[in-house]
Amino acid sequence: MAKYLLLKHYRGAPAAVNDVPMDQWTPEEISAHIQYMNDFAARLEGTGEFVDGQALAPEGMWVRYDGEGRPPVTDGPFAETKDLIAGWMVIDVDSQERAVELAGELSAAPGAGGKPIHEWLEVRPFLTAPPTITE
Amino acid sequence: MTSGVDELLLRSLTPSVLGILVRRGADFAAAEDAVQDALVEAVRVWPADPPRDPKGWLVTVAWRRFLDAARADTARRRREDLVDEEPAPGPVPAVDDTLQLYFLCAHPSLTPSSAVALTLRAVGGLTTRQIAQAYLVPEATMAQRISRAKRTVSGVRFDQPGDVATVLRVLYLVFNEGYSGDVDLAAEAIRLTRQLAAAIDHPEVAGLLALMLLHHARRAARTAPDGSLIPLAEQDRRRWDTTSIAEGVAILQAALARDQLGEFQAQAAIAALHADAPTAEETDWVQIVEWYDELTRLIDSPVVRLNRAVAVGQADGPRAGLAALAALDDSLPRHAAVAAYLHERDGNLATAARLYAEAAQKAPNLAERDHLTRQAARLNTRRCH
């Protein structure tokens, strides 16, 4: 088994085929989309491949250490930041082929006009603990 | 815990059993562990062999567990001067103990998340696993949070009087967390507040209990089958739980009659006025505004003023609501959502749609975000087609 992170972006991914902002869809199209996402997660729970799924608020901040005895420095949010993560799903699957297959299904979630969004999702394998048997 | 045992009965006995152990001289942390062990044992043994006196059984088993642990501890430290004989389980001031436990678990030295976790375990009798599931954190994390909390209050004397207000804040937090995992935190908060109301005669305890009951009564009507939020005005009021409403109103009326108004009674009064309206249109918004004015005098928080602006918008029209809103900082949570709603009612659909979309961006949870996005979409598609 191998874990993969499926990353969804607010910004920074190549443009989707059906690239219409959600507030321009009809309320029914929004419901259909949410239903599709919920069903997808439920199905992966059923197959034993779901690990975690979370959504992130679009606005956050940058923070860094500013030296001994000083409070951390905060900055942002930066509207110009190129890459903005919207959320993720972690899956635990048998192969990279399966990870790609599932990301493809997730990307087919319906959007404006009830048609698949064809959204680009980033698929990143986890770095795992070393195996017990190495030779 | 599993079926075959009356879990609620078992858990309702938790605080008094724990109180008895502490009165007998057990330190709180060790006693709490021993009671948890006894609860687990009860779930295992009771289905086949139900005790005649459940509480006496729990006290006996928990005390034995405590002694075993204390002896193991003593042996380890090569000391042998600890407790040995079992005192007779005589009459105990159970109600008083229960109250002391609430105070201890909501002690001001605890952070809110620690106080919540400790209350659910020591007063509520939930297992660490159940609490962890309810708050969506790993069990090990929750176990640490609880043991740190127990260490924090270990020096607090058990018979020290506490402040009811801190207890009410903790119970309010539990209630507001709602429902996730297999533990219904809203129902649990109601149970614990009811138990507190039985232990202490206090109008604000009654006020919080009424507030919870009145909100809980609307729960079935609050979400659509697909999980989306249904705003108050659009809820099917036939699905409200009238028994819960009647109980909440009766408790509130008795509390208000004592003429010691507090924030929870005022909030419950607002909830009662909503519950009272057969349709959204028949809501007595003028009285609701008056209660918000009362509430502002009790706790002048920006959130209360924001809710008041909504009520003003209903009582005196959207322009008046927008005027009330203009006095508030627009960085407040839900400010954009309220502005969107008032603008829509005032007929500024383009502005309303823009504000709904902005509000969705700032929404603190997914259900609200989806709801606000739908509102924006509804106005945008209506304007285009």
**Where along chain B do its domains lie?**
7-85, 94-179, 201-298, 301-385
Two tokens at B11?
């858990």
Q: Which of B63, B5, B7 is nearest to B38 (CA)?
A: B63
pLDDT value at residue B3:
55
Distance CA B264, CA B255 (A): 10
**Which residues in chain A are closer than 8 Å to B369, comparing Cβ atoms?**
55
Using the predicted structure, report yes or no on whether residue B179 has a pLDDT greater than 70. Answer: no
Q: Which of B227, B168, B20 is nearest to A33 (CA)?
A: B227
Is residue A25 situated within a structural domain?
A: yes
**Which residues in chain A are closer than 8 Å to B234, comparing Cβ atoms?**
none
Say what percent of chain A tops pLDDT 70.
99
Average pLDDT, chain B: 90
A34 contact B CB<8A = yes
pLDDT value at residue B254:
98
Distance CA B360, CA B362 (A): 5
Using the predicted structure, report yes or no on whether residue B251 has a pLDDT greater than 90. Answer: yes
Bridge partners, residue B183, by sequence: B180
Residue A22 near residue A92, CB atoms below 8 Å:
no
pLDDT value at residue B76:
67
Q: Domain containing A11: what range? A: 2-125
Chain B interface, best mutation among A23, A26, A52, A89, by max B CB count within 10 A:
A23
Is residue A87 situated within a structural domain?
A: yes
Query: To 5 degrees, how large is the angle CA B353–CA B356–CA B359?
Result: 150
**CA closest to B353 among chain A residues:** A23
Distance CA B385, CA B375 (A): 16
Lowest-pLDDT range, B177-181, B183-187, B208-212?
A: B177-181
Using the predicted structure, report yes or no on whether residue B87 has a pLDDT greater than 70. Answer: no
| Kind plus residue range of the DSSP H or E element containing A50 | strand A50-55
pLDDT value at residue B207:
98
A119 contact B CB<8A = no
A28 contact B CB<8A = no
pLDDT digits (tens, 9 = 90+) for A96-130: 999 999 999 999 999 999 999 999 999 999 998 88
Q: Annotate B176-194 with three-state secondary structure.
A: HHCEECCEEHHHHHHHHHH
Pick from A26, A35, A58: which is nearest to B377 by CB?
A: A26
Two tokens at B243?
């028994």
DSSP A9: E
Using the predicted structure, report yes or no on whether residue B82 has a pLDDT greater than 50. Answer: no
Is residue A135 situated within a structural domain?
A: no
Dihedral, CA of residue B85, residue B87, residue B89 and residue B93, to nearest 10: -140
Q: How far is A119 from chain B (nearest CA, A)?
A: 19
B324 contact A CB<8A = no
Distance CA A35, CA A32 (A): 5
pLDDT digits (tens, 9 = 90+) for B255-285: 999 999 999 999 999 999 999 999 999 999 9
Q: Between the CA of residue B277 and those of B235, B238, B255, B272, B313, what are the distances in Å?
A: 12, 12, 21, 9, 18
Domain containing residue A53: CATH number: 3.30.70.1060
Sequence-distant (6+) residues with CB within 8 A of B152 are B107, B109, B110, B114
Is residue A22 situated within a structural domain?
A: yes
**Which residues in chain B are closer than 8 Å to A25, comparing Cβ atoms?**
377, 381
**CA closest to B136 among chain A residues:** A52
ipTM: 0.84
Two tokens at B192?
């614990």
Is residue A130 situated within a structural domain?
A: no
Q: Annotate B125-157 with three-state secondary structure.
A: CCCHHHHHHHCCCCHHHHHHHHHHHHHHCCCCC
Is residue A131 situated within a structural domain?
A: no
Pick from B356, B363, B373: which is nearest to A30 by CB?
A: B373
pLDDT value at residue B310:
96
pLDDT value at residue B260:
97
Two tokens at B173?
């937090």
Looking at the 3D structure of chain A, how many domains does it have?
1
Three-class SS state of B364: coil
- CATH numeric code, B94-179: 1.10.10
pLDDT value at residue B83:
45
Residue B278 near residue B254, CB atoms below 8 Å:
no
Distance CA A4, CA B288 (A): 52
Q: Annotate A51-117 with three-state secondary structure.
A: EEEEECCCCCCEEECCCCCCCCEEECCCCCCCCEEEEEEEEEECCHHHHHHHHHHHHCCECHHHCEC
**Which residues in chain B are closer than 8 Å to A57, comparing Cβ atoms?**
362-364
Query: To 5 degrees, how large is the angle CA B308–CA B310–CA B311?
Result: 65
**Which residues in chain B are closer than 8 Å to A30, comparing Cβ atoms?**
370, 373-374, 377
Q: How far is B196 from chain A (nearest CA, A)?
A: 36
**CA closest to A37 among chain B residues:** B226
Amino acid letter, B343: H
Place of tokens 């002694």: B67
Q: How many other C-beta atoms lie within 10 A of the C-beta of residue A107?
A: 17
Distance CA A70, CA B382 (A): 53
Distance CA A110, CA B347 (A): 31
pLDDT digits (tens, 9 = 90+) for B280-301: 999 999 999 999 999 999 998 9
B380 contact A CB<8A = yes
